Amino acid sequence: MILSAPRSSTRIAGWLCLLLWCALINRIEAQAADADVEVLRTALDIRRTTPEAAETGLPVDVTGVVTLVEFGRTVFFQDETGGTFFKGKATSSGLQPGLRVRVRGKTFPGLYVPGIDAEKVEVLAQGSLPVPRQVSFDDLAAGRFNYEWVELQGVGRQVLGVPKDRTTLLLAVGSRKIEVQASEPLKEADEALVDARVKVRGLAAGFINGKRQLVAPHIRIQRMEEIEVLEAAPSEPFARELSPLNSLLRFAPDGFDGHRVKVQGVVTASQTGNALYLRDEDKGLRVLAPAVGRLEPGDVVEVAGFPAMGPFSAMLEEAVYRRVARTNAPEPVVTNVRQVLRGTLDANLISLEATVLEFLAGRSETTLVLQSSNEVFRARLERSEAELPFKLETGTRIRATGVCLVEQANSASPSFSSSPRAFELLLRSPQDMLVLTAPPWWTPERLGYAMGIFLLLALLALMWALQLNVRVKKQTAIIRQGVERAAALEERQRIAREFHDTLEQELIGLSLRLDAVVPRVEEPKAKGLVEATRKLVGRLQVEAREFVWNLRGSEVEPALLRQILERSAVERSGDSGVKVTVSVQGELARLPQSLAHPVLRIAQEAMTNAVKHAQAKTVAVKIEVLAAQVRLTVTDDGVGIDSSKGSAAKPGHFGLQGMQERAKKAGGDFQLSSEPGKGTKVEFTAPLGVKG
């Protein structure tokens, strides 16, 4: 024992040396690997890095000038090659624009342009902001100058203080508008920028979606005082000469300067907080204002706003207004669709006759689909249905009064002219809808036409069902030859959706119409014909639902299997007096969908055979979900089958054969036992683990 102690110490020392040697080797290899990674030393190097590469944390050592500090969290800076940004624990809250800094750290993907996760930020000296790059709106929208110091000129349109710690100037650049955001709250003096021509120097930025795409560009600045005013706005927005409504955006040799214009007109309609509509002589004008108060038709107002082209004609945006007088409410222009589609009545108050095709009542808006001549258009009312003093039904003839709004312009013409393609009416109140005639009642002549159309549709429905059945069989044959099961299932579901959304819905509509016709038909012969037709529709609906169910295939929800079977039992028994019962033992939710489908189809086929062919009085359907298998049993007390003749299906009858094929495909066992006069028993069992 005395001699073993030195040996143990020697062994421990050897292990310690080996561990130290391995650690030294790993350290040398790590340093060699770091030496192989090239350090990014310019902003351009970072901008050229892909998001995937930036995610790996490439080393960065860049020197540049701070351009913008975003609430102390993100710092943007720029060198001779471009702009980038950094943030992280090393970001100093004392950084200011103009400081020259050296940033060391690692890359990360950022939202749009890769950035730097700063590990060390060193202030080198006080510098100056870089010379801004002259850009256009399209340059900013392209995103290639994002996070660079840029310069842009335009006319101030609107100043907003949303959110409270930020001020936003809406700047018009030609026909485009862009936001300029300052990192400070709104001040009263900022309103002087509206209608002023200004120069903005700031950081090119934008709003980015989750796909790393630039949704809308904007410019970031530190303070609103940094905006240079090139041409001050008038101190009073209404201190201008009046412009006629029909003079907006017309040809002018010197073009449009982008500033406000002042117009005057009589209010024809207004939308609180959104827009108002004016008339000057026989011309209409749409005015978009951020805060429209309560104005009434007949109010005379002066409006100062920025001209812009709407969907078809000129309008005013970012406008302010003041009420100057009061006169009689203007009368609508009585017109027709042909005159409206000439385009001269856009934004004017009009009145025309139309027929109601559809009436849609929402919580905040009621929409009418109207038809006049051969044109269909909408009429909108900012009210709920409960506020209407009358009920509009399809076929009602009304006179609608409202503001005409052209929605689409038709420019597909070899000439230079443009005309409206579609329009809508903005109704002001329920009183703008005057009922002229109520919808007509059914007449014997129309009833005859309806019956003829129905019989024709029924014939077409049967032909269509046969064609679809043939098509399904052909597709099934192709599937058996090797088409993937998923593609086949999608095709069957598509056909089922078509069948449900077209033919089955049409049958439901016809059934509802016949239900409405029956009380109005008094002649016995005609009433009998209608009743017979109703029963035919009922049978067609049942067959249509069965057809859709069959096409849906494996979309059977196991938990709903009992409800589906009970509904099928009611449909199959009908008026025959056969009692069909459904019982379940165990949890249906344990069934996989691949087994729920054959269980449903075999049960339905067995019930059909018992009701239609076996002359049974009672039919019992029982499903047992056991520990390892499912068992379906369908028994009846009908005339039975002579088992000595075998179980093969008769020519032209495929019910039994179909049940056998479904059982085999599901990996289960199918048994049929019957004797003449003693009923029939159908039994299907399958293990729960088998996938069909």
How confident is the model over 199-226, as pLDDT tens digits?
999 999 999 999 999 999 999 999 999 9
Q: Confirm if 670 and 643 have CB atoms less than 8 A apart.
A: no
307, 326, 345 - which closes a domain: 326
Instruction: Answer yes or no: do 478 and 513 share one domain.
Output: yes
User: In this predicted structure, what is the pLDDT of residue 652?
Assistant: 38
The two tokens of residue 342 are 């000439």
Closest CA to 588 of 597, 601, 576: 597
Q: Residue 312 is part of a domain; what is its CATH number? A: 2.40.50.140
291 or 110: which carries more pLDDT confidence?
A: 110
Helix axis angle for 593-612 and 655-665, nearest 10°, is: 160
590-599 burial: b if 16+ Cβ within 10 Å, else e: ebbebbbbbb
Give the amino acid at 295.
L
Residue 653, pLDDT above cutoff 50: no
Task: Express each pLDDT in 38-66 by its tens digit.
Answer: 999 999 999 999 999 999 999 999 999 99
437, 467, 492 - which closes a domain: 437
pLDDT, mean of residues 254-280: 87
The two tokens of residue 489 are 């299932």
Contacts of 355 (CB under 8 A, 6+ apart): 370, 371, 372, 395, 396, 397, 398
**Is 249 among the domain residues?**
yes
Q: Confirm if 261 and 243 have CB atoms less than 8 A apart.
A: yes
**Is 316 among the domain residues?**
yes
pLDDT, mean of residues 147-159: 94
The two tokens of residue 115 are 């950035």
Task: Express each pLDDT in 568-626 by its tens digit.
Answer: 788 777 666 788 888 989 888 888 877 888 888 888 888 888 887 888 889 999 999 89
Instruction: Answer yes or no: do 548 and 466 share one domain.
Output: yes
The two tokens of residue 90 are 């090393």
**Is 23 among the domain residues?**
no
Q: Confirm if 364 and 302 have CB atoms less than 8 A apart.
A: no
Instruction: Answer yes or no: do 564 and 640 share one domain.
Output: yes
User: In this predicted structure, what is the pLDDT of residue 284?
Assistant: 93
Contacts of 593 (CB under 8 A, 6+ apart): 554, 555, 556, 557, 558
Contacts of 567 (CB under 8 A, 6+ apart): none
562 or 552: which carries more pLDDT confidence?
A: 562
pTM, to two decimals: 0.57
* C-alpha dihedral (105, 106, 110, 114), degrees to nearest 10: 100
Q: Sign of torsion, CA 553 554 557 559? A: positive
- Structural domain of residue 496, as residue ranges? 441-553
Task: Using pLDDT thresholds of 50, 70 and 90, give the confidence band for residue 484.
Answer: low
Q: Are strands 176-182 and 214-221 parallel, antiparallel or unpaired?
A: parallel
pLDDT, mean of residues 515-527: 73
Closest CA to 602 of 575, 623, 625: 623
**Is 251 among the domain residues?**
yes
Instruction: Answer yes or no: do 689 and 569 share one domain.
Output: yes
The two tokens of residue 592 are 């996989």
Q: Is 609 exposed, middle or buried (0-12, 13-18, 19+ CB in 10 A)?
A: buried
413 or 587: which carries more pLDDT confidence?
A: 587
Q: Residue 644 is part of a domain; what is its CATH number? A: 3.30.565.10
Helix (H) or strand (E) holding 302: strand 299-309
Q: Residue 67 is part of a domain; what is its CATH number? A: 2.40.50.200
Q: What residues pair up with 120 in beta bridges, in sequence order?
A: 104
437, 463, 496 - which closes a domain: 437
Instruction: Output the 3-class SS for 507-558.
Output: HHHHHHHHHHHHHHCCCHHHHHHHHHHHHHHHHHHHHHHHHHHHHHCCCCCH
Q: What residues pair up with 540 in beta bridges, in sequence order?
A: none
**Is 33 among the domain residues?**
no
Instruction: Answer yes or no: do 103 and 161 share one domain.
Output: no
Q: Domain tally for the chain? A: 6
Instruction: Answer yes or no: do 612 and 670 share one domain.
Output: yes
Instruction: Answer yes or no: do 364 and 399 share one domain.
Output: yes
d(CA 264, CA 285): 10
- Collapsed DSSP state (helix, strand, coil) of residue 162: coil
**Is 563 among the domain residues?**
yes
**Is 22 among the domain residues?**
no
User: In this predicted structure, what is the pLDDT of residue 647?
Assistant: 47
Instruction: Answer yes or no: do 531 and 571 share one domain.
Output: no
Q: Confirm if 313 and 406 have CB atoms less than 8 A apart.
A: yes
d(CA 263, CA 247): 10
Instruction: Answer yes or no: do 543 and 563 share one domain.
Output: no
Instruction: Answer yes or no: do 226 and 250 share one domain.
Output: no
Instruction: Answer yes or no: do 527 and 614 share one domain.
Output: no
Instruction: Answer yes or no: do 563 and 691 share one domain.
Output: yes
Give the amino acid at 573.
S
**Is 490 among the domain residues?**
yes
